Chain A
Amino acid sequence: AQSVTQLGSHVSVSEGALVLLRCNYSSSVPPYLFWYVQYPNQGLQLLLKYTTGATLVKGINGFEAEFKKSETSFHLTKPSAHMSDAAEYFCAVSRPNYGQNFVFGPGTRLSVLP
C-alpha cells in the first residue's frame, strides 16, 4: 500500500523567501510522484511530476521538486515566494501502471506574508 505524509499542515513564508514544502512517501515499488496546487475555491492543478529519469523536476510557476529515493522524499521548493503562491499544496503518489491507485497527502497550506 502506498501512503504520503506532508510535514507541516501550515507553512508561512515572507514574500521573496524560499518556499520548502515537505513530502515523504511509502511505496512497495518505484512510484510516480506529483505535486498539485489548490487555490481558494478552485480545483486541483498539476504543478509538476516525477515518473522516471532526471530526479530534479521543474514545474509551473517556478516550482521544482527533487525525488530522493534514499530518503523517500519529494520536497517542493521555490526560490522566491510570491503572494500569488498562497494556496493549498498536495503531494500525491501513484503506482506505475495502476493509475487508479492515486493517493494524496493531507496537504500543506502555504501563506505568504508581505
Chain B
Amino acid sequence: DTAVSQTPKYLVTQMGNDKSIKCEQNLGHDTMYWYKQDSKKFLKIMFSYNNKELIINETVPNRFSPKSPDKAHLNLHINSLELGDSAVYFCASSQIGEISNYGYTFGSGTRLTVV
C-alpha cells in the first residue's frame, strides 16, 4: 500500500484552465503539506494542514486553494493556470510530535505542465 498517494502523476493542461491534484495518506498522520519543486529542484512549502486546519500558508497566489475534507486527504485546486505554475507538486504528511522518528513522508509527485 502506498503511504502517500497523489493523483494524477502527470498533468498537461492549457493556460487558463482550472485543475485539481489529489493527495491521500494512510499513515494516520495528523498533518499534511503541499510543496512545489521548480525546474531547479528547489522545494518550497506552499500549505500545511493539521487536523483539517490550515497552519501554514506561504506566499502563494490565491489561484491556489487547498482543501482538506479530512485529515487523510489534502487536495490542491489551481485556478486560471499560468505557464509559471509548471512544476512538480509534492504532497507530504507527518505526525506532529513524531518528526524525530519519521520526518516527513512524501508522495511521488505530480508533474504539472502548462502549455
Contacts and interface: CB of A to CB of B under 8 A. Distances in A.
14 contacts: A41-B109, A43-B90, A44-B92, A46-B105, A49-B103, A88-B41, A99-B31, A100-B31, A100-B50, A102-B104, A104-B42, A106-B42, A107-B41, A109-B41
Contact of A99 (B45, B99, B106): B99
Contacts of A97: 97
A24 to B, nearest CB: 17
Interface residues of A, number: 26
Contacts, number: 65
The secondary structure that dominates the A interface is: strand
B100 A96 contact: yes
Given A32-B100, A49-B100, A43 B108 contact: yes
Contact of B45 (A52, A102, A106): A102
Contacts of A41: 109
A44 B96 contact: no
